[in-house]
Structure formats: structure tokens, C-alpha cells
A and B are shown apart, each in its own frame.
Chain A
Amino acid sequence: MRVQGPLGRALARLARHRLAGVGAALLLLLVALVLARPLIAALLGTDAEAVDLLARGAPPSPAHPLGTDDLGRDLLLRLLAGGQVSLLVGLAGALGAGLIGALIGLVAGWREGWLDAALMRFTDGLLALPLLPLLIVLAAIDPGRVLPESWGMGPLVEVGRIVVLVALAGWPTTARLVRAATLSLKRREFVRAAEALGVPGPRIVLRHILPNAAAPLVVATTLTVGNVILLESALSFLGLGIRPPLATWGNMLSGGLETVWTAPLMVIAPGCLIFLTVMAVNFLGDGLHEALDPRGD
């Protein structure tokens, strides 16, 4: 079957990219496993929260395929539960960063002039701030001083806090890429034609520029997913990430540090999953980068 159109050609190029295939397959497998957690829990006859103080740090056995953690909870199920949160944070953080970045990049590139200069100097400035120390400061800010008190500190606020943090830290790169694409697109004939026809500016930006600037946006957002997962784990390690009892790969890893000498699997397993996920995302991002490059064929 011959695929037609730029999207079809890009998909065909992506399918030929071996590493991207490996990455996509890995990610699908991880998502499937995470989604199948209730099923696996039913098979094992336990769940991710079930504490068994008599079987703390137990080695792998038929009842606990990866053994148990320091509270006797099933490590495999904990990992899958943590994966749900980690993957969600990665995706939400990257989408948030992509959204802010796209908006600022489009506005700056379309309007040019002083607004562009101001937005881009601001972006450059943020890029110059050391990321991790900045996140530490941001994470140390008391949400109670910024948010209404009634919101409390439920799991949603906890996850939302991290998503907002990483999104705020991640958008500048995307904004620069989208702005560059917008600048070159607005001088092309089809955009000039739309302008000459009297199409209003915001409509041109959304209907004509955004779809054509999608390639760098998609690639940057994909790569951000991996970076967000790494950042979340680094913040967890420093004690500033999502706090237990809500499991993430990051806080499981740092939680396992105390018993790393007796139960190394508690540290090795979540680290492996973070590594594999980020690697898979990077493979996919690289494949997308080549597939969406119009010079590819």
C-alpha cells in the first residue's frame, strides 16, 4: 500500500527507523504493564498497598516475583503503581512545557518587534538560570503561600506541584524552537496569501503556522518527557519530589537508599525502569526528528 501526504510519508519514515521502533515498543510495553496492574494484582492475590511486616525485604519468590520492599509490600506492584505516576508526571509536565513554549514562541515569532525582544530575552534569562538549584528553590516555596488554603495537600496537589514545576522549567527550549519556525514560516507564500485575503492574525497562526511548526514542537515535547522523568527522580532524591505514600519511581529509588546494602533490588529496579523509559523516549524522539524532517526522503 502506498501512503500519501506528508503525514503518511513521515509515518513511513518513522516505521523504517529501527531505534524509534524499539523505543515505541518499549514504551507501549511499559504502559501496558502499568495498566495491567489490577490484573497482575489479582493474579498474585495482593495489591500495591498491602503491608506484610513479617516479609520485609524478602527476596523474589512465586508470591512476590521481584520480592518485597522495606514494608513488605510487593515490589513489582509498587513499581507498576509508581510507573503510573511517573509516566503521568512525565507526560503532563512535557505537555505543559510544550503548551507554554508553543504559545510564547508563536506570539514572539508572529508579532516580532519589542514583544518578541522582551519575550526572547526573558527566555534566554531563564535558560541561564541553573536548573536544578532553581527547582530546589521553587520546590521549597510553600504552596500554602501561593494557593488557597482549602486546596489542602492531597495527592492531586502533590502531583500537580511537580508538574507545574517541571513545566515552568521546561518551556524555554520549546519556545525558542517554535519561534524560529514561526519566523521562517510567516515569510512563506501561503502565509502571505492568507494575509492578503484578509484572514485575521490569530487564525493564520493557528490554522497555517502551528500545523507547519508541529515538527519541532512534537520532537521537543517528546524529548521533554524523558527529561521530566529524570528531573522528578532527581527532585525525589533530594527529598523535594512527590512524597510517599504515593509511589513514583523517583521516590522509590531514594526510599530504597537506606537498605541499599541489604536489598539492592529496591534501588536497582526503579532506576532500571527510569533508565529504560528515558532511553525509549529518546529513541522515539530521535526517530521522530528524522521522520518529520522534510529532507528525509
Chain B
Amino acid sequence: MTSPWRRALPGVGRLVQSLAVMVVLSFLLFLLIDLMPGDPLDLMLATNPDASPADIARLKAQVGLDRPLLVRWSEWLVGLMGGELGISRLFAAPVGEVLMAPLGRTLVLMALALGLALAVAVPLAVAAAMAPRRPIDYLANLVAFAGISLPPFWLGLLLILLFAVTLGWLPAGGPAPPGSGIGATLAHLILPAITLAALQVGQYTRHLRAALIEVLRADHIRTARAKGLGRLAVVRRHALRLASLPVVTLLGLDLGLLVSGAVVTEAVFAYPGMGKLTYDAVMGNDYPLALATLMLGTALVLLGNVLADIALGLLDPRIGLEDGR
């Protein structure tokens, strides 16, 4: 018998692997950003008709844009190790400082959305799995399909139209003004959180229901029922733990995706989080900032995967990380 923490130990190995993947991906991102139109100098020079080709070449050499991609990438990597991310062109401030506030706002939004998604999906999936092919199951199925089929910004718009414009219950968007109480802060968060949670509710309900139905057929569940445990108690104490495995994997994926993938939702609600920052950085040709936001998003996806793997090892004694893949 190995202790659960021993089973989680190989996660450290996965972490190292993920770091290697990060380095490779960072090159890919660097290359992509380099392919984007207009380097920082083009923008500076576009406003200055007097610049001669010689001036341009001299300036490029000064900033280092004339050197090969690989050299610039490795220098950027070295800077990253020292916490040096460059200066944002749009905000005229160090990238690290620019990132902080939006990251915090997005994390709050993400936590709320995930909590909301689980609060809806888990009871729904349990109810559906306990009564397959009954009305509640069909309802769960419909909710799940609707959740994964809704265009997120459209849902956001409909919510604004209904709750902000027609009913006037909630603000239409934007962050809560500084210094406002917890009530106002929550009011500004609730519509974006619902919009983000819709997709998650769909995914979690589908996977959890399918896994629960599978698990409820297992022998140890029949044993638990035979010894007189009630149906709900069986689900709560025995089935949910095993059936939660696919959802844990999804949660790991969503950790990263929600931080950077909320671009659209944050745009609809004018919520100044990481998604909007990424978009502004890419559109505004702010290379250092765009690179940093993309790298952060990628790192969070990888971290989410590793965390999910560790959690799976803790939840399910049959899974060993060594022979995982």
C-alpha cells in the first residue's frame, strides 16, 4: 500500500516535462508574434515621413530587431528567468506590473464561474444518472447540449438585454468602481460568470452523468446498496469519487482556458481581465505584452493538466502516473 502522497510524487516529473514543453512552445509563440504585421519600429516610423532607409536600419540595429529570431528568442527567455518581461508599449510600464491587476480580476471571475458551473452541473448530473431516461435526465441532456452549443458572446448579449436593459436589475458591464462594496462587486461579476459557466455546465453535466451511470453498474456499488445504504448515500459516498475523474481532467483544462479564453466574454462585458488584455496587446502590436499574456495562458493550461493528473492519482488508487502514458 503506497500512501496517496507517494502516488502524487511523479507529478513532479510531469512538471519538469511541462517546463520543457513550455520552452518549445515559447519559440512557436515568438515566431508567430514575429509574423504579425508591423514591428514596433514600423509604427514609430509611420508617423515620421522624414525617416530615411538608413535611419530605419540604424534604429532597428539599436533596438536589436535586425538580429536573427533565435538570438532574440533566447535573450527573451533569459530575461524571463530573471523576471524581466520587457516594457509594454501600450501602457508604457513593465509588463509584469501591467499583468497583475487584470490577472487578479480574471482569477476572481474564473473562480466564480467554476463554482457556479459545479453547483449547477453536479446536482443535475446526479439527478439525471439516478433516473436515466426519465424527464429529469432529458432536461439535463438538453441543458448540457444547450451549454456547449451557445455562442458565448450571444448569450452574454441576451443576458445584458434581459437583466440590464429590460429589467434593470444588474449592471451591463465593466468592473465595479473602486471602493464599492462586496454587493456591487458581485453584481458586476454575476452576468459574465453565468456566460462563462454555460459551456462548463454543459461539459461537466455530460461527462459526470455518463461516468456516474457507468460507475453505478459496478459491483461495489451493488454491494453498498445490498448492505442497506440509500441510493443518494451510495452516490455521495461511493460513486461520485470515481465518477468525478473525467470532470477533474476537464477542470484542469479549464483552469488555463478560462484565464486566457475569456477573451470574448470579457469583451462583451467590457471586463478588463486577462482576455481583454491579450486581445488589446495583440491588436495594438504590443509585442512584449502579447508574448507574456500568451505564455501565461499556456503555462496555466499546462499547470492545470499537471494538477489534474496529481488529483487523479489521489482520487483513484488504480492510476499510477508512471505508467500513465
Chain A interface residues toward B at CB < 8 A: 19, 121, 124-125, 128-134, 136-138, 140-142, 145-146, 226, 230, 233-234, 237-238, 253, 257, 260-261, 264, 267-268, 271, 274-275, 278-279, 282-283, 286
CA A261 to CA B33, docked complex, whole Å: 37
Bound-state Cα–Cα, A278 to B155, Å = 14
Closest to B153 in A: A237
Contact B301 A130 (CB under 8 A): yes
Contact across chains for B35 and A145 when beta carbons are under 8 A apart: yes
Cβ contacts under 8 Å, A132 to chain B: 260-261, 263-264, 275
Q: Is the CB of A129 within 8 A of B298?
A: yes
Contact of A128 among B152, B267, B279, B305 (CB under 8 A): B305
Select which of B25, B150, B263 is within 8 A of A133 by beta carbon.
B263
User: Are B148 and A238 in touch, CB under 8 angstroms?
Assistant: no
Q: Which residues of B contact A19 (CB under 8 A)?
A: 141, 145
14 additional A-B residue pairs with CB within 8 Å, beyond A128-B305, A140-B37, A234-B152: A125-B25, A129-B294, A130-B294, A131-B261, A132-B261, A133-B278, A134-B32, A134-B294, A136-B283, A137-B294, A141-B35, A233-B154, A234-B263, A238-B279
Nearest residue in A to B160 (C-beta to C-beta)?
A260
Q: Mark B296-316, 1 if CB is under 8 A from A, else 0.
A: 011001100100000000000
Q: Please state if B25 and A140 are interface contacts (CB–CB under 8 Å).
A: no
Q: Does B151 reach chain A (CB closer than 8 Å)?
A: yes
A226 proximity list for chain B (CB < 8 A): 149
Q: Is B32 within 8 A of A133, CB to CB?
A: no
A253 proximity list for chain B (CB < 8 A):
151, 153-154
Indicate if the CB atoms of A133 and B261 lie closer than 8 Å.
yes
List 12 A–B pairs whose Cβ atoms lie within 8 Å, in order of A's numbering: A19-B145, A129-B25, A130-B298, A131-B261, A142-B35, A145-B35, A145-B37, A146-B35, A233-B154, A267-B154, A267-B157, A271-B151
A264 touching B153, Cβ below 8 Å: no
Q: A234 and B153: CB pair below 8 A?
A: yes
- Say if the beta carbon of B290 comes within 8 Å of chain A: yes
Kindly list chain A residues whose C-beta atoms are within 8 Å of the C-beta of B256.
Answer: 128, 130
Is B282 a contact of A133 with CB atoms below 8 Å?
Answer: yes
Contact, CB under 8 Å: A136 / B263: yes
Contact flag A136-B153 (CB < 8 Å), given A141-B35, A141-B37, A142-B36: no
Whether B290 lies near A264 (C-beta < 8 A) is: no
Q: Mark B137-179, 1 if CB is under 8 A from A, else 0.
A: 0000100011011111110011001000100000000000000
Q: Which residue of A lies closest to B25 (CB)?
A: A125
Smallest Cβ distance from B112 to chain A, in angstroms? 20
Query: Do residues B257 and A131 form an inter-chain contact, with CB atoms below 8 A?
Result: yes
Number of A-B contacts (CB under 8 A): 129
Interface string of B224-257 (1 = CB under 8 A from A): 0000000000000000000000000000000011
Contact A275 B154 (CB under 8 A): yes
A160 to chain B, nearest CB (A): 18
Q: By the criterion CB–CB under 8 Å, are B297 and A133 in contact? A: yes
- Whether the pair A237, B294 counts as a contact (CB closer than 8 A) is no
Q: A167 vs B283: C-alpha distance in the bound complex, in angstroms?
A: 22
Known: A132-B264, A274-B154. A137 touches B37 (CB 8 A): no
Q: Give the Cβ gap from A146 to chain B, nearest Cβ, in Å.
A: 8
B260 contact set on A, CB distance < 8 A? 130, 132-133
B297's partner among A125, A130, A233, A237 (CB-CB below 8 A) is A130
Chain A residues in 8 Å Cβ range of B154: 233, 253, 267, 271, 274-275
In the complex, the 9 A-B pairs of residues with the closest C-beta atoms, listed nearest first:
A271-B154, A130-B297, A130-B260, A142-B37, A279-B149, A278-B149, A128-B301, A133-B278, A141-B35
Does the CB pair A136–B278 fall under 8 Å?
A: yes
Q: In the assembled complex, which residues on chain B have CB atoms less than 8 Å from the CB atom of A279? A: 145-146, 149
Contact A137 B21 (CB under 8 A): no
Query: Is there contact, CB below 8 Å, between A237 and B267?
Result: yes
B274 to chain A, nearest CB (A): 9
Chain A CB count within 10 A is highest, among B141, B153, B267, B294, for B153
B205: Cβ under 8 A from any A Cβ: no
Query: In the assembly, what is the distance between CA of A230 and CA of B150, in Å?
Result: 8
Scan residues 95-116 of chain B and give those whose CB is less than 8 A from a CB of chain A.
none
**Which residues in window 11-54 of B have CB below 8 A to A?**
21, 24-25, 28-29, 32-33, 35-37
Name the B residues within 8 Å of A140 (CB-CB).
Answer: 36-37, 282-283
Chain B residue contacts of A278, Cβ below 8 A: 148-151
| Contact, CB under 8 Å: A282 / B153 | no
In the complex, what residue of chain A is closest to B261 when comparing beta carbons? Answer: A132
Also in contact, A274 and B151, with CB within 8 A (given A136-B263, A137-B36): yes
Q: Which residues of A are found within 8 Å of B152, using beta-carbon distances?
A: 234
Q: What is the distance, in angstroms, from B283's C-beta to the closest C-beta of chain A?
A: 7
Q: Most chain-B CB neighbours within 10 Å: which of A133, A145, A234, A275?
A: A133
Question: Given A128-B25, A133-B294, A253-B151, A283 and B145 touching (CB < 8 A)?
Answer: yes
Q: Using Cβ atoms and an 8 Å threshold, which residues of chain A touch B261? A: 130-133
* Assembly CA distance A125 to B35 (angstroms): 20
Shortest distance from the beta carbon of B222 to any chain A beta carbon, whole Å: 21
How far, in Å, is A230 (CB) from chain B's closest CB?
6
Nearest CB on A from B90, distance (A): 15
CA distance A268 to B298 in the complex (A): 34
Nearest-CB residue, chain A, relative to B24 = A125
B200 part of interface (Cβ distance < 8 Å): no
CB-contact partner of A238 in B25, B263, B302, under 8 A: B263
Does B293 make an interface contact (CB < 8 A)?
yes
